[in-house]
Amino acid sequence: MTKEKNNTTIEDLIVRLTYLDSDLEKEKIRKAYLFAKKKHLGQYRKSGEEYIIHPLNVGIILTSIYADSETIEAALLHDVLEDTDCTKEEMEEEFGSEVTKLVLGVTKLSKIHFSTENEYLIDYYKKIIVGISEDVRAIIVKLADRLHNMRTLWALPVEKQHKIAKESLEILAPIAHHLGIHKIKSELEDLSLRYLKPDVFYDIVEKLNNTKLERDKTVMQMMNEVTNLLTNHDIVHEIKGRSKSIYSIYNKLNKGKKFSDIYDLLALRIIVNTEQECYLALGIIHSKFRPLPRRFKDYIAMPKPNMYQSLHTTVFGLDGYLFEIQIRTHDMDEVAENGIASHWAYKENKDAKANMQSTTEQKLQFFKSIMDLKNDKMSSEDFVHSVKDEVLNNNIYVFTPKGDIFELPKGATPIDFAYKVHTKVGETMVGAIVNNNIVPLNYELKNNDIVKINTNKNSTPSKEWLNIAKATQTKNKIRSYFSKNEKENYIERGKYNLEKELRKRKLSISEFIKDENVKKICENFKLNSLDDIYLSAGNGKISPNTIINVIDKYEEVVAPKIVKAIPKNLDTDIIVSGIDKVKVNLANCCNPIYGDDIIGYITKGNGISVHRRNCRNLETLENRIVPVDWNKDIVPDKRYLTLILIYSNIKDNKMAEIVQKTSMLNINIDSIKAIPKTDEMIYELGIYVRGLEQLNKLILDLNKLQYIYNIERLMR
């Protein structure tokens, strides 16, 4: 690798600033340069150059994406606070608080303390998240900083080269991608590859060089053809051949493609004035050159999550060569190249910073995903994994039926999609339709799938989903649903126990829970609210008596007669003979459903538990058995959960057909599991049915499938 000599001066930067209107801004930039130069005097880079060459080049990189003057000042000053005697106060005095804040934002990102790789990443990611949420410009300066460091990476020892290149590829290039700054992303990737896999890199470079002449000739001919075609139809346009990045070729080779297949794919870009002309140009090109089926993508109607807009098509061009063609307007091209940074180019807007920040927050899905992570409580491993593998890398794009795009980690299932759309959608989902086919919940979504989620407002998540969901965030949401539910149960139980105790002591409940008493109890046990008191009484941390004693000193009185608490009647669908109002639960070992032959079992303190008469858990408990029956006077509108085992004598996964039969009867699925055996398959299906009648109808339907030879209800 040759050392690139760098004779860059401040004038090289100033001449690039023609896009800034005011000379004042240019003078401020010059002042920042002189200040930094003075502060860094006597410091040299590993390459042997004066230190100032580095910040100067970072500034120049930023002019290529039309950065505003504050950002360029910050770029010139970005290492001054960390590496020189300059203080924050001094910088504020000279350059104002905005520029100083930006410099601090960049400095923070290079000051990362760690003892392990994991801790390092946690610290790094957290700082990036903070940076993006406070002023995205600090992150853009960091990207430019890293790009220049990558360009001069040859000066460092091999071990450091690897570490920095790896970090650039795994963290910074993906951030550039999500912010839509294609120029920086692409160069970071190519440079990283050059240091991480030099053999592969130079092999591709050589192959490209060997085929360059022929490719250039073919592209030139095709460009002439297309440009004449468009001109004949009065479409004013720009056209250019474009070369694929080395990294993107490497990626395709990695996926098993042959080099000859890739260089066959030649690429053109057409830029027109209006959106309408994009479609017009597309039609004209397709009328002359046959398009390759299924390769057309309309990212104008459906922009990518990083705001990218363009039409993509692949056509059979001259001599049978395949041409990949992109068609877009000038504005779209600006966004495609510079992403979020394109806001700098829109002159009409005075406050580029505010505008950029609000676009980041509102339009970039990346921002939402990364903010969710910040708010989620998760372990440090989960956090690093989520940022690195689920937000930054390996994403797929799927669509809602309306055409909204969602970004999901590779391997995501319809459950991840539903939760990504909205937590409520996730929590009430009962099924998914992908590209018009019903799919099981563990279906692995693919790029460009169109996903429709069916919901039912009475449906709730299943714990089984924790094994099906892919994204850590989805799992966290499912877990939090269950822990919230458990918490609610404890609160309810605590309230019940406490009130029971109050009644026992003949104390007024409403009197007891008035504000001053609650306050006193909270202070006593270091709790925060009435719910906390109930929670402590419900989960057994503090007994109801201990709580009541804070207000009402317990006197040893034996209640003259035992007042039996009357619990609420929760299940009017079951009659317990001889007893009017009693708490009734359906046992979850045998899951009785409406119409089953049932029997009651008196539990200790939790009412009557209803089992199916043939439930094996009942055998030992005969002295506590009580007759129960379904209330035939009402038709319950509730659904009963039941589990069935379906035995199939073929190994192929027929989940989809089973799900379809179930959906046809309007039965909601709680869970479905395929259990492979040597030469058959067993499906465990959890469903919500109206009762025995509906279940029998389903069993009848399922039995019509030839490969199903047995169906039974599961009992635990």
Which residue ranges make up the site for Mn ion (CB under 5 A)? 79, 145
Shortest reach from residue 145's CB to Mn ion, in Å: 4
Burial of 610 (0-12, 13-18, 19+ CB in 10 A): buried
Which of residues 107 and 536 has its CB atom nearest to Mn ion in the complex? 107
Rounded to whole angstroms, the Cα distance separating 186 from 172 reads 11
Instruction: Please choose, from the candidates 188, 128, 140, 129, the residue with its C-alpha nearest in 3D space to the C-alpha of residue 338.
Output: 140
Shortest reach from residue 54's CB to Mn ion, in Å: 6
In the complex, residue closest to Mn ion by CB? 145
Active-site hit among 12, 25, 50, 83: 83
Shortest reach from residue 279's CB to Mn ion, in Å: 45
Which of residues 81 and 271 has its CB atom nearest to Mn ion in the complex? 81
Shortest reach from residue 448's CB to Mn ion, in Å: 40
Rounded to whole angstroms, the Cα distance separating 630 from 595 reads 7
Which of residues 173 and 502 has its CB atom nearest to Mn ion in the complex? 173
Shortest reach from residue 96's CB to Mn ion, in Å: 21
Rounded to whole angstroms, the Cα distance separating 278 from 266 reads 20
Give CA 122 to chain center in angstroms: 18
Burial of 524 (0-12, 13-18, 19+ CB in 10 A): middle
Shortest reach from residue 55's CB to Mn ion, in Å: 7
Question: DSSP letter at 715?
Answer: -
Distances (CA, A) of 78 to 75, 129, 416, 565, 584: 5, 19, 40, 71, 69
Shortest reach from residue 68's CB to Mn ion, in Å: 19
Residues linked to residue 332 through DSSP beta bridges, in sequence order? none
Q: Is 319 a residue of the active site?
A: no
Shortest reach from residue 33's CB to Mn ion, in Å: 15
Burial of 379 (0-12, 13-18, 19+ CB in 10 A): exposed
Shortest reach from residue 28's CB to Mn ion, in Å: 20
Instruction: Please choose, from the candidates 300, 332, 329, the residue with its C-alpha nearest in 3D space to the C-alpha of residue 405.
Output: 300
Rounded to whole angstroms, the Cα distance separating 140 from 188 reads 13
Q: Which amino acid is at 307?
A: M
Contact 675, 683 (CB under 8 A): yes
Contact 351, 302 (CB under 8 A): no
Shortest reach from residue 154's CB to Mn ion, in Å: 17
Which of residues 36 and 584 has its CB atom nearest to Mn ion in the complex? 36
Rounded to whole angstroms, the Cα distance separating 551 from 520 reads 8
**Helix ranges, 111-197 (H):** 117-134, 136-151, 158-167, 173-178, 182-196
Instruction: Please choose, from the candidates 689, 672, 670, the residue with its C-alpha nearest in 3D space to the C-alpha of residue 681.
Output: 672
Which of residues 79 and 596 has its CB atom nearest to Mn ion in the complex? 79
Residue that has been written with the tokens 């049932």 in this structure: 598
Question: DSSP letter at 319?
Answer: G
Which of residues 79 and 333 has its CB atom nearest to Mn ion in the complex? 79
Report DSSP letters for 136-153, one per residue.
HHHHHHHHHHHHHHHHTG
Which of residues 141 and 262 has its CB atom nearest to Mn ion in the complex? 141
Which of residues 145 and 499 has its CB atom nearest to Mn ion in the complex? 145
Active-site hit among 25, 50, 82, 389: 82
| Extended beta strands in 219-337, E state | 237-241, 266-272, 297-298, 311-316, 322-329
Which of residues 79 and 324 has its CB atom nearest to Mn ion in the complex? 79
Which of residues 135 and 145 has its CB atom nearest to Mn ion in the complex? 145
Helix (H) or strand (E) holding 710: strand 708-713
Q: Is 82 a residue of the active site?
A: yes
Contact 526, 542 (CB under 8 A): no
Shortest reach from residue 57's CB to Mn ion, in Å: 10
Sequence-distant contacts of 218-227: CB under 8 A, at least 24 apart: 218/266, 218/317, 218/318, 218/319, 218/321, 219/266, 219/267, 219/268, 221/318, 222/266, 222/268, 222/317, 222/318, 222/321, 222/323, 223/268, 225/288, 225/317, 225/318, 226/268, 226/270, 226/285, 226/325
Contact 618, 598 (CB under 8 A): no
Which of residues 106 and 469 has its CB atom nearest to Mn ion in the complex? 106
Rounded to whole angstroms, the Cα distance separating 40 from 38 reads 6
Residue numbers annotated as active site: 82-83
